[in-house]
Amino acid sequence: MNHYEGNNIGSIAKLEITSCYLISGFNPVTFYPGGSWINVPFKEQTGELKEETEDHVNGTIYTYSGSIFVPNLRDEIDATMRMYIGQTSMIRATDMNGRVYILGSPHIPVMLNSSGNTSKTFIGENGKEFQFKVEQNYPALRM
């Protein structure tokens, strides 16, 4: 894929995940020994990141949500992602324009859910879709 200056390209280029328990500092993100971001391989052009801002009685609420599709129900990806399902994750998403978003924090983790199927037809694609969402009272860290 070619990128040209001035294009506002959609989709997520790269998604990484980590456990909130491995974070020793937040801005910038630093890890305890042995901690790091784990790359999540997903199908090109299936990554999406949404941002909503809501004025609330208690202040501004920033909601980030999205999804990725991991084809072929690969066991190694499924086992890795299963560890992060629930309220224990932070996500680093890089969009196709190169902007990096850090979603969640050690005190406000990202919620991760999954759904999968084998497809209805033999020409369909089996796999799992992973959905993520976080509601926080500050905008995502951007790099």
User: Is 3 part of a structural domain of the chain?
Assistant: no
- Any idea what the CATH number is for the domain that residue 58 is in? 4.10.410
Q: Which two tokens stand for residue 21?
A: 């328990």
CA distances from 137 to 52, 61, 79, 107, 134 (A): 12, 5, 31, 11, 10
Instruction: Please report, rounded to a whole number, the percentage of residues in the chain having pLDDT higher than 90.
Output: 55
Q: Which two tokens stand for residue 143?
A: 């790099």
Q: Given this model, what pLDDT does residue 104 score?
A: 94
User: Is 97 part of a structural domain of the chain?
Assistant: yes
Q: Is 126 helix (H, G, I), strand (E, B) or coil?
A: coil
Task: Say which range, 46-55, 58-67, 76-85, has the weakest mean pLDDT.
Answer: 76-85
Q: Given this model, what pLDDT does residue 7 score?
A: 63
pTM for the model stands at 0.85
Predicted confidence (pLDDT) at residue 69 exceeds the cutoff of 60: yes
Residue numbers of the domain that contains 46: 12-142
